[in-house]
Structure 1
Amino acid sequence: MKRNSFLILLLFLLSGKVAAQSVTVEAQIDSLQILIGEQAKIQLQVAMDAKQRAVFPVYTDTLVRGVEIIDIAKPDTQYLNDNKRMLIKQEYTVTSFDSALYYLPPMVVSVDNKEYKSRALALKVYSMPVDTLHPDQFFGQKTVMKAPFVWEDWYGLLGCSFLALPLLALLIYFIIRIRDNKPIIRKVKVEPKLPPHQAAMLEIERIKGEKIWQKGRSKEYYTELTDAIRTYIKDRFGFNALEMTSSEIIDKLLEMNDKEAISDLKELFQTADLVKFAKHDPQMNENDANLINAIDFINETKQPDEENLKPQPTEITIIEKRSLRTKVLLICGITLLSAALVATFIYIGMQLYNLFA
C-alpha cells in the first residue's frame, strides 16, 4: 500500500515538472559590446502551448538605469507541431550614452498568470577612443564626400528629357493647327469617261477574246454582245436602250439614222432573240458575222469628232470648313499635352535638384 502511494506521488511530481517545462522563456542579445550611441537588439522568446496566454514585460523608456529603449517591435507569433505549440518573439532595441558594464536582469513573462523568467544578460558600453598623447590636437570638420557617378540615377531624368521633346513638338503642331483657321482644301483627280464608241469597242474586244461561243455558250455570248450594243446606243443616242425590246430600239433608231447601218443591227438582234428565246443554235460563221455587224454599226454611227479624242483627266477642288469637333479635339489635345509637359518639367527639375543639391 505504501509502495503504490509512493508511485502515485512520484507520477504527480513528474507531471507537474513536465507541465512546468512546457513554457520556456529565453532572452538573447545580438552584441555584448557597443560604443556610446550604438544600438543593440534584445530578443525575448517564449515557447508555450497554443491555448495559453502570455503577457510580456512592459517598459517605459529604460531597461535599467543607463540603458535606454529606442524601439519595441511588434510580437512575432509562429505556430508549431500542428498548431499545438506557439512561439512568440519580442524584440527590443536599446542604446546607452554612458560607458559602463551594465547588468540586464531577467525579463519576466506572465503565462496564464504564472511568471517565468529569462536568464540575465550583460552589456558593455565603451566610450570613443581618445588620443591621450595629443590631447590638444583637434581635427576640423571633414568635407562632404561626393557620391560616385551611377547611371541608374540618371535613367529617369534622361527618359523624361527625351519624352519632353516629342510632346513639345506635338503641342506646337496643335497650336499652329488651331491658329490656322483656314478651310481645308482638297484636290480630287477624276478620271474621264471614255467616249461611247471607245467603251463599246473595248467591251466587244473582250467578248471576242473570250470566244465563249466556241464553248457551247451561245446564249451567254449573244447576251453580252447585245448588252454592249444597248449600252452604246444609250450613251450615243441618249435613250435608255437597256430597258427596251429589240424592235423598239430599231424603231427608235430609224427615226434618227440611216437604214443601212440599222439593217446590220436588226440582223444581230433577230439572231440574238432566236438564241435566247427559241434555243436556236447558230453556226460558227453566223456568230462571226454578227460580231462584225456589231463593229460596223458602232463605226458607222459614232461621232466623227470623237475619233481621235483623248479624254484628259479633270481635277476637282473641294473646299471644306473645319468642323467644331476638330476644334474641340485640338483644344483637348493642347490641354493634355500642356499638363504632361508641365509635369515632365517639374519632375526633371526635382531630379536635378536631388542630384546636385
Structure 2
Amino acid sequence: MKYKLLYICLFLASLTFAQQPQVKVEVDTSNIRIGEQFQYKISVDATENVIIPKLENLKGLEVIDSLKIDTIKNKLVQKYILTGFDSGAFHIPRQQIFIRNQVYLTDSLLINVTTVPIDTTKVKKFPIKGIKGEPYQLDDFKQYIWWAVIALALVALLLYFFVFKKKKEKQEEVIIPLLAPYEEAMQKLEELDKKLLWQNNQVKKYYSELTDIIRGYIERELHVPALESTTDELIDILQDFNNIKSIETTKETIEKLKGLLQESDLVKFAKSKPLSHEIEEDRKDAKYIIDHLKPKKQVEEDNVE
C-alpha cells in the first residue's frame, strides 16, 4: 500500500512538472570576431501572460536590433542581434521572464570575442605622413571677430562725432514759437467746434476736451496745477487768489467755472446727458471764463495800453 501511494505522488508530481512552462535561450554562435553580429534567441513554451523584458546588464556586448516577437507552435520566440567591439570573454547574464505573474530565469551564456588577425608580411608599408592640420572652425576666429567689431564701433563713433554731429550742429533749429495762453485757448476752442463731437453723440469726449482747454489756460496763465486738481481744489485756489487780489476776475466768473466743471464731472462720471441748449450755454461760459480770468499784472498792462 505504501508503494502505491508513493507511485501516485510521483505520478502527480511528474504531471505538475510537465505543466510548468519552459524557458530556453540559445545563440547561433558563441565565438565571434570584433564587430561581427550574432543572434540571441529566447523561447518560451507559453503564449499568454508572458512578459519578456529588454536585455539588461550586458557588459562588453551591445544590442544592434530587437526583432519582433514570433509565435511558433504555441511558443513565443524573441530574437536579438548582438555584437561586441572589445576582445574578451563576455557573459550574457540570466534574464527574467514573467509568465502568469511568476518569474522564470534563463541560463547565462558565454560569448568569446576575438580580434581579427593581421598578416603583417602581406601588409604594404607606407612612409610616415606629416602632421595634418585640423580644418579651421569658427572658434579659431572669435578673437579676430571681436577685434573687428571693436574697430568698426570706433570708426562709427569717429564718423558720428566728426561728420554727422557737426552737420547736425550746423543745421538751423526750427523753433515753433508758443502761442500766448489766451490765443492758444481760443484756437483750441475753434478746433473743438469743428469736430462736432456733441452733435455726434460724443458728449463725454466733448466736455472732457472743453474742460481740459480751460484748465490748460488757467495752468499756463495763472501758474497753478489746474490739470491735476479736482474741481473743488481748483475753485478753492481761485477763490483764495481772488481774495488776495492776485488775479483779476469776479465771483460770477468763478461761479460759472465751478458750474461748468461740475457739469463736466456729471457727464464723465455720472453719465449725465445735458440738452443741446445747455451744451451751447456751457460753450459760451467757457469763452467767458477765459476772457475774464487773468493775472493782475496782465490786466494792468492791458489798461495802460
TM-score tier, shorter chain, comes to 0.3 to 0.5
Normalising by structure 1, we get a TM-score of 0.33
Using CA pairs under 8 Å that are at least 6 residues apart, name the structure with larger relative contact order, 1 or 2.
1
Larger Rg: 1
